[in-house]
Structure 1
Amino acid sequence: MNPIHSLIFDLDGTLLNTIADLAHSTNHALEKSGFPTHAIEAYKYFVGNGINKLFERALPEGERTQENIARIRSAFLTYYDAHNADYTAPYPGIPELLSQLQADGMALAVASNKYQRATEKLVRQYFPDIRFAAVFGQREGIPTKPDPTVVRDVLQVTGCTAEETLYVGDSGVDMQTAANGGLVSIGVTWGFRPRTELEECGARHIVDSPDEIRRLAVG
């Protein structure tokens, strides 16, 4: 493996456990529109492809219209903007990992399918001492992961090559994003998706603890 100079992290399920706040906010929006709600665990399989896809999956099969998705989105955004840190927290060992990697001189970035405003807010709130080179969420007119546009945008900011960069995430979408961008992927097992999904989607490495990420990065 080439010497590593930068790492790109997914946010939800990788750095932060956001699932309860995403679930409560979506359930609030569904309930407000008269649709059935779901258990928190179910949301681990609804998230990962941006919020419109989240709402499409959460709606009953016969109700997945653009109109309903827009209605749920509107109610969700109002609620989630106010409640996106009620239950959210970094995974154990993540703040320490980021501090160590920063001290090692690594360029660090976030690439998420969460909408940009919330991505920036949560990164700022939970990792105030980390100087991320780039924090990219879902941006208007930019395709979501697994499209590699966000990876190319990060590399442009960091000045690092794909060969010098590791991509860390918890889902098949993340592993595909890394492959599409020409990056070595690290799948984490503490997130929202099972190890089998990471394996099936070609994870180059699979780790069970943040310490293992640093070992892969710095040797």
Structure 2
Amino acid sequence: MTTLFFDLDGTVSNNFQGISRCLNFALEQLGLRQLTDLEVLPFVGPPFRESLPRAFPGIDTEAALKLYRERYATSGWLENSLYDGMAHAISTLHSQGFAIALCTSKPRVFAERIIEHFDLAPYFKGVHGPELDGKFDRKTELLAHLVEHYKVAPENALMIGDRDKDVEAALHVGAHSLGVLWGFGSRKELLEAGAKHIVDRPDELVHTIASIA
């Protein structure tokens, strides 16, 4: 194992408050009902261009995205906290010689800002996510691009994340996957997606990755 791809929301940091407030702001502006925290959960991870029309048939998705991003760009990205132990785990893995990159469904422009805000940028070879126009919205496409971009053999790559989409992306490109349980997915979700390795706490990351490598 040489290269680690980390998801962001629900894996490195908890941005649920920001996501929830920005999503409900957009819905309110469009005259739609507000969502409870439980109803917001399915929106954390998958692209909004997929999840919004499923939840609100007929919604003007691009208008909702524009409103969401207006609030997110000013305050939503700051309604965020680093999971305890993540900075130590990432710095330790970096010191052990792993190449580390971010592979998130959050737009790249916001992901870069968040990684810099938490002083994690020195540990990452790159921060990657969809462009605002929707390019690389699907994590399978993004991870496939990154495996090629970093010239890493899929069997030497590990995707680390909290949702089924992270596991499915890894399987799609032939990489290893590691599910985490401190985010927004469940053990059942990760296992059903095909995860072979799952950890409960950030302090288990270094040891578990060493065992996979």
TM-score by length of structure 2 reads: 0.90
Instruction: Trace 1:141-160 onto structure 2 (pairs within 5 A).
Output: 142-147=135-140, 149-160=141-152
Q: In 1, distance between residues paired with 2:115 and 2:123? A: 10
Partner of 1:20: 17
> 1:167 corresponds to which residue?
159
Deviation, 1:130, is 3.0
In structure 2, the CA distance between the partners of 1:41 and 1:127, relative to structure 1 (3 Å rule), is farther
* Other-structure match for 1:109: 101
Relative to structure 1, is the Cα distance of residues 143 and 159 closer, same or farther in structure 2, using a 3 angstrom cutoff?
closer
| C-alpha distance in 2 between matches for 1:124 and 1:27 | 26
Task: Confirm or deny: 8 A CA contact 2:129 2:136 kept in the other structure.
Answer: no
| Ranges in structure 2 where 5+ consecutive residues have no aligned partner | none
CA distance in 2, matches of 1:75, 1:28: 7
Q: Is the 8 A contact 2:105 2:137 kept in 1?
A: yes
Give the equivalent residue in structure 1 for 2:73. 81
Given that 1:47 and 1:53 are in contact with CA atoms closer than 8 Å, whether structure 2 keeps it comes out as: no
Structure 2 distance, partners of 1:203, 1:17, is 22
User: CA shift at 1:42, angstroms?
Assistant: 2.0
- TM-score, normalised to structure 1's length? 0.88
Alignment-derived partner of residue 29 in structure 2: 32
- Conserved? CA contact 2:104–2:139, under 8 Å: no
State the identity %: 28
The amino acid that maps onto 2:92 is Q
Alignment-derived partner of residue 65 in structure 1: 58
What secondary structure is seen at the aligned counterpart in 1 of 2:204?
Answer: helix
User: Could you tell me how far 1:33 is from its partner in structure 2?
Assistant: 1.6
| Runs (4+) off by over 6 Å | none
Matched, 1:50 2:47: yes
Gaps of 5+ in 1: none
Q: CA RMSD in A?
A: 1.8
1:85 counterpart SS class? helix
- AA aligned to 1:193 is G
Deviation string for 1:163-208 (max 9, x for gaps)?
1111101011111001001111100011111111001111010100
Aligned residues: 210
Q: Per the alignment, in what secondary structure is the counterpart of residue 129 of structure 2?
A: strand
The 2-side partners of 1:92 and 1:133 are apart by: 22
Residue 124 of structure 1 corresponds to 116
> Which has the larger displacement, 82-91 or 31-40?
82-91
Alignment correspondent of 1:137: 129
**Cα distance in 2, alignment partners of residues 27 and 122 from structure 1:** 21
- The alpha-carbon deviation at position 92 of structure 1 amounts to 1.1
